[in-house]
Structure 1
Amino acid sequence: MEYLQKSLRLDGWDYRTPWFYFITICTKNRKYYLGEIKNGRMGLSDQGCAAWYFWNQIPNHFEKVKLDSFIVMPNHVHGIIQLLPEDNGLNPVASCNCKMPQGKIREFGKSKAGSLSMILNGYKGAVTRWCNLKGYEFKWQSRFHDHIIRNEKSLNRIREYIECNPLNWEKDSKNVM
């Protein structure tokens, strides 16, 4: 029997499309590799510092990428990535009047150059390689969660969620240890 792994990506959506994407990447088994929260503030471990550093390096390695709000938490990273259009100066959230495609989840496919998956695989690989080189225990979950941000109101709500994540850690569903 052949096992098919289902993708979490939206069927019919090209993840190279210039847009804003809300990303969550969890550590393997949600282990607290990246640091800890004390008094509502995130304190980064060495692995967490690497996760923070390499997140900020993404635009240096991938053209047409702009970073927005992000946070490294004890067992996950939240961030907003904007894939930029081809130098036409348009803001995809503010300027697009098209309807978001709807549909079923499709089967897992190969990453395409310039796609969100390619960018995040590069990021996760950089953090993992650094941790391995330094002899730190560290693993990511194999997938990531994304949300295509529909409008500016949602973008602002997600920015606030990211900023307040350490303060709300006790109520966070990813706080599992």
Structure 2
Amino acid sequence: MSKFKNTFRIESTRLINWDYSTPWWYLVTINTKNHIEFFGKVVNDKMYLNELGKIVDKFWEEIPNHFKNVGLDYYVIMPNHIHGIIIINPIVETGYIPSQDKQSETPYMASLPLGDIVGKFKAAVTRWAYKNGYSNFKWQSRFYDRIIRNENELFNIRRYIEQNPLKWELEKDKPENIFDL
């Protein structure tokens, strides 16, 4: 076990020996720090995004524009967290590594690991928030992920994401019901 930020010991939740840049489908849950409700309200089982929530939605939708081999599936933004399915697709040839010998140029496109994709999303939202008057906005320092193992699990996760606003009133005061670290 190692120390996290030299403060306390915490085990990694990542699957040992798994390369998180591997083409696959991943469920991610990203929480706000201390579960503060920054993104809007659930009213009558429907999520209503405020200004910051709309930015989170916009930036989430833009992820594939920044990572050409990444796609998105179901997602939901809740008052204090986001659940989403990120799809890392196989790498396609899009560029070349420059070489002094033009004959030996090789195709190249790096696939970023899931943590880098989520980190860049969180950083973009945070930058926007600070520039636009949300100086107290913070994400939780880590995020939850799950490698989606089969079609049945994908179906259940999609249903969970869709039904998240319906369960908000029952679960909002029970942090153990939110994927958390």
TM-score between the two structures when normalised by the length of structure 2: 0.78
Tell which has more relative contact order, 1 or 2 (C-alpha 8 A, sep 6+): 1
Give SS of 1:131's match.
helix
CA distance in 2, matches of 1:158, 1:173: 19
**Superposed structure 1 runs of 4+ greater than 6 Å apart:** none
The offset of 1:7, in angstroms, is 2.1
Asked whether the equivalents of residues 70 and 89 of structure 2 are also in contact (C-alpha less than 8 Å), the reply is: yes
Q: Which amino acid aligns with 1:123?
A: F
CA distance in 1, matches of 2:29, 2:3: 25
Equivalent residue number for residue 69 of structure 2: 64
Q: What residue ranges of structure 2 are gaps of 5+ in the alignment?
A: 5-9, 93-109, 176-181
CA deviation map 1:51-84 (0-9, x unaligned): 1110001001112101000010000000000100
CA distance in 2, matches of 1:86, 1:174: 42
CA distance in 2, matches of 1:86, 1:3: 34
Q: What residue ranges of structure 1 are gaps of 5+ in the alignment?
A: 88-111
Equivalent residue number for residue 172 of structure 1: 171
The CA RMSD measured in Å over matched residues stands at: 1.8
CA distance in 2, matches of 1:128, 1:174: 25
Share of identical aligned residues, percent? 48
Question: 1:6-85 to 2 correspondence within 5 Å?
Answer: 6-85=11-90
Asked whether the equivalents of residues 169 and 175 of structure 1 are also in contact (C-alpha less than 8 Å), the reply is: no
CA deviation map 1:30-49 (0-9, x unaligned): 00001110000001111111
Asked whether the equivalents of residues 41 and 166 of structure 1 are also in contact (C-alpha less than 8 Å), the reply is: yes
Residue 130 of structure 2: which of 132, 152, 155 is its match? 132
User: Which structure has the larger Rg over C-alpha atoms?
Assistant: 2
Give SS of 2:19's match.
coil
CA distance in 1, matches of 2:173, 2:76: 14
TM-score between the two structures when normalised by the length of structure 1: 0.80
Equivalent residue number for residue 117 of structure 1: 115
Change (3 A) 1:34 1:175: farther
Asked whether the equivalents of residues 39 and 49 of structure 2 are also in contact (C-alpha less than 8 Å), the reply is: yes
Asked whether the equivalents of residues 41 and 48 of structure 2 are also in contact (C-alpha less than 8 Å), the reply is: yes
CA distance in 1, matches of 2:91, 2:125: 29
CA distance in 2, matches of 1:145, 1:160: 18
